[in-house]
Amino acid sequence: MPSPTREQTDSPTIEAIDARIRSQVKREVRRINTSIAADDLVSVTVTFDGHNAVIVAGSECSIVVDKGFTLTNWYLISDQTGDIQIDVYVDDFASFPPTVADTITGGNEPSLTAANSRTDSTLTGWSTNIADGDVIKFHVDSATSIVRATLILNGTRT
């Protein structure tokens, strides 16, 4: 039998390779566990598209929230500089559809004025708690010059 070469004697054993793989897997599992909190983040996105025409005031879109969350901020972006104001109504599913009486914005609706992007994380006057099964209705109060706008509500699971 030929004597082993230096390269063969310095090669890791199956056990050493297995131990290294297990160590890497444990590190990866720890990394996944530390990022689980990211699963508690929520984004609700609605896009209004006028299909080559200015978005029409009164346009609406509703969604049902599967699991409740607390709003933390919003972003509003548009395809071009202009004006738009979008109100946000929330009510429980049994009371569908939400109406202007169910606004959660406290008179501080997401809006753009001669702009194409804006964000707010203070949410002054807003009712920020959204419950399991609530319906969120987005209502365009007004729009000028904007053909496409996207409103993103962000929050954390409760």
DSSP state, residue 2? P
CA angle 49, 51, 52 (to 5 degrees): 120
Minimal CA–CA distance to 153: which of 40, 46, 39?
46
Note the pLDDT of residue 150.
95
Peptide bond into 97 cis (omega under 30): yes
Over residues 48-66, the pLDDT tens digits come to 999 999 999 999 999 999 9
Residue whose tokens read 């699963």: 39
Closest to 95 measured CA to CA, from 145, 150, 137, 47:
137
In terms of DSSP bridges, do strands 60-64 and 134-144 run parallel, antiparallel, or are they unpaired? Answer: antiparallel
Q: What is the pLDDT of residues 82-121, one digit of tens each?
A: 999 999 999 999 999 999 999 999 999 999 999 999 999 9
Structure tokens belonging to residue 147 = 């053909």
Average pLDDT over residues 125-141: 97
